[in-house]
Amino acid sequence: MIGIIVLPFYIIFNLFINKIIMNWLGLFTKIKNKYILLSLQMFLTLSLYIAFILPNGLLKRILTIVGNYYLGIIIYTSIILVLLLLLKFIFKKIKVNRITYTIVGFISILLISFITIYGTINSDIIHTTRYEVDINKQCSIKNLNIVMIADLHLGYNKGLKMIKNMVKKINKENPDILIIAGDIFDNNYDSLDKPKEMIKELKKIRTKYGVYAVYGNHDVKEKILLGFTFKDKKKKNSDIRMDKFLSDANIKILKDDYINLDNSIYIYGRPDYKKSINRKKVSEVIKKLDKENPIIVIDHQPKELKELARAGVDLDLSGHTHDGQIFPLNYLIKLAFDNSYGIKKYADMTSIVTSGVGLYGPNLRVLTKAEITSIKVNFKSKQ
């Protein structure tokens, strides 16, 4: 609903940007050129809205991808415009001639282009981030090599190419277990391109104990417009095709359920904080678990961390935040979450939040990284 409400403001803002750009590019003053640029910009502005009303198909895919790229461009155009207006206010007494104004405009356009190209390339580079965690509990095994991924957001932006790269990175770490901490899909299962080939690639993941996942807030069927979902008050289940996709890929979903590795280590998967139906309270999570054994919780959103620590959880694995995904959100996201990215201790519990493999909305990563997270967990040996 928000995506529709902001439409007139979005159009007006883009018209304002069009006027600024035309002033920058003073060489293109002919009416014909103005209308060409305006038509192109309005097409880009409305591409996500046009895609929204189209049926599933190639044209919808193309317009959605184009619109997501443009959304990233408009974000950084806005930031640079604000900076230029501040400079103009600071130096308002300094007279600027036409040539200087045009040069500043061209430099700004080049900067926006550079950020867009860099952000696009950077989003495809998957890094490996490594941590080591000590759990002071006795266990039948000395250590556990966990690889965690999250926020794949399989859909229009990311798909088979990312999965192939990701699987190679995962297998290189020789994991005992792979954890997927939610947002595997990007709301719309029909947006998947070549799902059968994706499943085939995911089945190439090699682990000792298997692949376990939880669902995130985007692993439900919801319409998205301009990055906003059409939310309702009802909690939702995943699309049954999502369930089958994961089952066919040998990925087990944990929905307020757990497994016990070697009769020693609990791996508990929680449904999403906002979207789940009848999500159990923290006290219920550990009710049936033996606190003498290591307890590892998978929770898409890094919420209730202090409560989990007090309850006796040893390691909490999360995603959701994307580490902000694009500058300056990577700094603002810290205000929303106590642990927005990386590793943090809560008494005897360790929280690890990954920035994710994929992305959401703007098809860019700026000053953040796509990653898989490799975690070596050490336990006390049984006497």
What tens digit of pLDDT does each residue of 267-321 get? 999 999 887 777 889 988 888 898 999 999 999 999 999 999 999 999 999 999 9
Give the chain's mean pLDDT.
87
pLDDT (mean) for 163-180: 97
Helix axes 7-24, 98-123, angle to 10 degrees: 130
Q: pLDDT value at position 262?
A: 86
User: In percent, how much of the chain has pLDDT > 70?
Assistant: 89
Mean pLDDT, range 78-90, rounded to an integer:
79
Q: What is the spatial distance between Cα 30 and Cα 332, in angstroms, rounded to a whole number?
A: 42
pLDDT value, residue 288: 83
Chain centroid to CA 354: 10
Mean pLDDT of the 134-161 span:
93
For 22-57, the pLDDT digits (tens) are 766 665 556 566 777 778 888 888 888 888 888 888
Distance CA 360, CA 218 (A): 10
pLDDT for 182 beyond 80: yes
Q: How does pLDDT run across 196-234, given as a tens digit for each residue?
A: 999 999 999 999 999 999 999 998 877 777 666 666 555
- Tell me what the mean pLDDT of segment 123-138 comes to: 95
- Residues with Cβ within 8 Å of residue 12, at least 6 apart in sequence: none
Q: Is 80 exceeded by the pLDDT of residue 74?
A: yes
